[in-house]
Amino acid sequence: MIQNVLKISLLVCVCVYGVQAHAQAPFLLIENVTLIDGTGAAPVEGASVLIEGNRFAAVSKGPLSVPAGTPRVDGTGKFLIPGIIDSHVHVPGGRTGPGNRTLVSQPEVGIPVMEGLLYAGVTAVYDSGNNAPYITMMRADERAGRIRSPRIYTTVSLIAPPEGHGCCAGGTVVHDYADGVEKLDAIFAMKPDLLKFTRERRGMGPMGRNMPLIPIDLMTQLVAYAHDHGIRTTVHVSEVELAREAMQAGADAFAHTIYLDAANADFAKEAAAAGVIFSSTMTRIEADTAFLDEPLFVATVPEATRRAIKVSERFGGSAYTGWLSSLRPAIMQNIKFLYDSGVTIAMGTDRTMGAMAHQEMEILVEAGIPPIDAIRMGTLNAAAYIGVEAELGSIEPGKLADMVLLTADPTVDIHNTTLIDAVYKGGKRVDRSSLDVPANQH
Ligand SMILES: [Zn+2]
């Protein structure tokens, strides 16, 4: 405790020194707030959080003394969580048509979606497969501040075998090691944040055909090649045995939870020991679309889009969804079993809607995971999935100041993450009233 106090006062001193050195360094103090820092630690009432520039400078369990004139936000009765991170999205505007096989570049399609994510408190996303020139342009535009968007991380292009899952919607097909190295070099030149492979033989559907897989020896070599270049890997997988093989090939993460069979104890133990992280993607199994009429969906997703989703093949309208949702109880059990076994789970939707990230956390809680850990999955664990946990994902000194101020306690009811008072990205308050979302169209 004493050590904590010393650490905090030292940080404040550094800040004060910072003021003298750089007269413009902006400060912001959020005081008397209930802090839920994203690490899974118990909420702290009456906390103070000091931001200097775009980073958290100090966090205190009580009041903080700060430079005179520091702007203050009264957090009384409010709850502060880190900015929400979705570890599995596909930014719209890069692909279109049947099977997403036509590659396009339509930022006018993607930007309103990104503004909707920001409105809903999602401050970072990992794009799990897209049209490489489009997604890298969007990432560059976000980093340069040219668009209002969550921080964008991306695989650039995913790696698939000929005719395999994801091959033909902007994916990169690899034939053998020499071919793979040449193509990975081209992708590395575009700086992937986390490289995705696919390992799927069922086609993820009731009529699932036998899809080819990348030979495991080739995947092992290419994962090692990525690691040699400092690039972590994630794998689309839906079955235990294929996940186990990918894990033994050195994969760092999985783009989905296990959908098609039961995660057994041996597998869970191996996954926990390997430290692999699963992206949850539970909203994929939602056939009941009543949640699309909840306030945050209405505020951020245009009515025509919500209507289209209700009858689309991915939700209520097809054999595909009916089949997937019939697996719902088993999938819920799997995720809880992995969680109980000490496997790290990151919140991810595979849906690319801000409100859906909240829905995903609700499903995690429905599966039996405590709200405080569902929040960790939607913040620190999702940052770890992407590999940016040193910079993002929790409210701790030194990290980028992405955070969401809520008007009700999300540890009592996870649905309260949707009751948003303010969103901050890089220490700056997002002007939610100016974002291109239905809530602002009068
Ligand atoms: Zn996906």
> Over the stretch 136-185, which tens digit does the pLDDT of each residue have?
999 999 999 999 999 999 999 999 999 999 999 999 999 999 999 999 99
**Each residue's pLDDT tens digit, 346-367:** 999 999 999 999 999 999 999 9
Query: Measured in angstroms, how far is the CA atom of residue 52 from the centroid of ligand 1?
Result: 36
Q: What is the predicted pLDDT for the residue at 323?
A: 80
Residues 348 and 382: their CA atoms lie apart, in Å, by 8
What are 295-305's pLDDT values in tens digits?
999 999 999 99
Whether the pLDDT of residue 4 is over 50: the answer is: no
- 0.95 cut: is pTM over it? no
Distance 166 CA to ligand 1 centre (A): 9
**Is the CB of residue 349 less than 8 Å from the CB of residue 89?**
yes
From ligand 1's centre to the CA of 17, what distance in Å? 46
Share of the chain above pLDDT 90, in %: 82
CA gap 408, 399 in Å, rounded? 25
Q: How far is the CA of 95 from the centre of ligand 1 (A)?
A: 13
- Centroid of ligand 1 to alpha carbon of 254 (angstroms): 11
For residues 62 and 50, is the Cβ–Cβ distance under 8 A? no
**Ligand 1 centroid distance, CA of 174 (Å):** 19
CA of 244 to the centre of ligand 1 (A): 20
How many other CB atoms are there within 10 angstroms of residue 286's CB atom? Answer: 22
CA of 419 to the centre of ligand 1 (A): 27
Q: How many CB atoms lie within 10 A of CB 21?
A: 8
Output the CA 130–ligand 1 centroid distance in Å: 9
The mean of the pLDDT values for the chain is 92
- pLDDT of amino acid 203: 65
Domains for the chain: give ranges and CATH numbers.
2-82+395-440 (2.30.40.10), 84-386 (3.20.20.140)
Model pLDDT, residue 99: 84
Query: What percent of the chain clears pLDDT 70, i.e. is strictly above it?
Result: 91
Residue 1 has pLDDT above 50, yes or no: no
Residue 413 pLDDT more than 70?
yes
Residue with tokens 């490289």: 195
Q: For residue 203, how far is its CA from the centre of ligand 1 (angstroms)?
A: 13
For tokens 């668009």, name the residue. Answer: 147
- The alpha carbon of 349 and the centre of ligand 1 are apart by a number of angstroms equal to 8
Element (H, E) at 114: helix 107-119
Q: How far is the CA of 269 from the centre of ligand 1 (A)?
A: 26
> If you measure from the C-alpha of residue 101 to the centroid of ligand 1, how many angstroms do you get, rounded to a whole number?
14
- C-alpha 442 to ligand 1 mean position (Å): 34
Q: Could you report the per-residue pLDDT of 310-349, keeping only the tens digit for each?
A: 877 555 556 777 787 788 899 999 999 999 999 999 999 9
Measured in Å, residue 281 CA sits from the centre of ligand 1 at 8
pLDDT tens per residue across span 57-68? 999 999 999 989
Tokens of 390: 């040193």
Q: What's the CA-to-centroid distance between 346 and ligand 1, angstroms?
A: 14
Torsion over CA of 378, 4, 405 and 335, rounded to 10 degrees? 20
